Structure 1
Amino acid sequence: MTMQTIKSSTQDQNPPSSPGDQHSGIRNYRLTAVCLGLLTVLLLIIITALSIHYSCPQGWIKFSSSCYYISNDRKTWNESRQNCREREADLVIINNKEKQMFISKFHNFWIGLTDSNKEGNWKWVDGTTLITGYWIDGQPDNEDNEDCVVTYGQKNPEATWNDLTCSCTAHWLCEKPASR
């Protein structure tokens, strides 16, 4: 091998740095940083949009995937239901233990359960039949033609329901999906 060949192979393996090479490296870093910054901003916009989309209206409480309105005043069961409908909601439907545990904190509130169409045939406001009830011992008793259900505070959060005459007044709980 000649000296010329050794010299040219060494130059190819270690090319000299020129100011132009350094500037292109800096440009690549800046381009990468700008792209990462834009992606971060895009992700923040998406997260914000999703959190707004799945939030509850002002004055409502979010629990699980629903929003709940807790009234301050008292109305009959029918008036309470109408108030919920005006809010694009309905009286709360308690169809699982998790929701019952949440609702059990509220005392003297109407829920969306009635047997006003047929005595003893308890139906939710969406037309579904009651499967699991969280009745206080001895309830429902239909004393004085009680066709609507109210929650009462009890030591046992799994036993808070009482049937009550629908014309009585109580607070009420409205429920609607959080995604509305």
Structure 2
Amino acid sequence: MYNSNNREKDFIPTELLENPGYLPSKKHSSQVTSNKCLVFIIITCRTITVCGVSTALLVSRSTFHEKPSECLADCPENWIGFQRNCFHFSDDTKNWTFSQRFCDLQGADLVQVETLQELGFLLRYKGPSDHWIGLSREQGQSWKWINGSEWIRCSPITGGGECAYLNDKGASSARRYTERKWICSKPDTYTQMRRESLN
């Protein structure tokens, strides 16, 4: 004998395709809802799996490399990272001595320009203002960085002062008491920790 309940149970998908106006029974609606939940759970599980695999790959990649990317730097808030160093560009203007003291209180120094790439970075970020850098000289002596190393660049430092600053054309000099903005520099957290662990 024909049983309509069995027919509905066994052939609902075909009925839905043939008759879009067909309204399934409550029993079938709960089955469709269950199927939708199952599909949602499967998609969610796959998404979590993909995210987990991606995270694992990133973690394993950083484990295999002793030195992180040169572009990245772990710097304090409001400092800008470049090539494993952190830079602070002041908004205020002060004399060279005050500027160096400020940097010293931050565990930094007035910036020492070491590469052409770093010079390009500093000129780009400093904007139109002149900024003190960690280069100075005694009367009649050669230019020296804060750490005592000598200035060995071919390009001359213009001006007649004893302290250097960056302008739009490169380095120039002014008297120590002149007020300008300044740039502090220090190694990023990763580099500092490595240096401390080697000492």
TM-score range relative to shorter protein: 0.5 to 0.7
State TM-score, norm by structure 2: 0.57
State the 1:40 CA deviation. 4.9
**Aligned match of 1:6:** none
- Give distance in 1, aligned partners of 2:183 and 2:174: 16
Instruction: Tell me which of 127, 140, 143 is aligned to 1:119.
Output: 140
- State how many pairs are aligned: 131
Q: Which whole-Å deviations, capped at 9, do the CAs of 1:9-58 have from their partners, x for residues lacking one? A: xxxxxxxxxxxxxxxxxxxxxxxxx9xx69955964995xx79x941100
Q: Which amino acid aligns with 1:162?
A: S
Which whole-Å CA distance do the structure 1 matches of 2:105 and 2:95 have between them?
A: 15
Is 1:140 aligned with 2:161?
no
Offset of 1:120 from its aligned partner? 3.8
| Change in 2 beyond 3 A, CA 1:43/1:161 | closer
- Of structures 1 and 2, the one scoring higher in RCO (CA 8 A, sep 6+) is 1
Q: Which runs of 5 or more structure 1 residues have no equivalent in the other structure?
A: 1-33, 155-159
| Contact 2:159-2:174 within 8 A present in 1 as well | no
Which residue pairs with 1:28 in the alignment? Answer: none
Check the 8 A contact 1:95/1:132 in 2, yes or no: no
- Residue in structure 2 matched with residue 170 of structure 1 by the alignment: 180
**Alpha-carbon separation, structure 1, partners of 2:82 and 2:58:** 25
What residue ranges of structure 2 are gaps of 5+ in the alignment?
A: 1-48, 63-67, 193-199
Q: Post-superposition shift, 1:119?
A: 2.2
Question: 1:93–1:124: 8 Å Cα contact kept in structure 2?
Answer: yes
Q: Is the 8 A contact 1:75 1:171 kept in 2?
A: yes
- Cα pair 2:73 2:85 within 8 Å, conserved: no
Instruction: Identify, as 1 or 2, the structure richer in helix.
Output: 2
> Using the alignment, how far apart are the partners of 1:75 and 1:81 within structure 2?
10
User: 2:118 and 2:55 mapped to 1: Cα distance?
Assistant: 37
Q: What is the aligned partner in structure 2 of residue 131 from structure 1?
A: 152
In 2, Cα distance between the equivalents of 1:131 and 1:153? 20
Question: What percentage of residue pairs aligned between the two structures are identical?
Answer: 28
| Paired residue secondary structure (1:132) | coil
Structure 1 residues 169, 42: closer, same or farther in 2, change over 3 A? same
Please report the RMSD computed on the Cα atoms of aligned residues, expressed in angstroms: 2.9
Q: How does 1:1-180 map to 2 (within 5 A)?
A: 40=55, 44=59, 54-105=73-124, 106=126, 107-116=129-138, 118-132=139-153, 134-135=155-156, 139-142=157-160, 146-154=161-169, 160-178=170-188, 179=190, 180=192
Q: CA deviation at 1:95?
A: 2.0
Provide the C-alpha distance between the structure 2 equivalents of 1:54 and 1:100, rounded to a whole number of angstroms.
17
Match of 1:84, as an amino acid? Answer: C
TM-score normalised by structure 1 residue count: 0.63
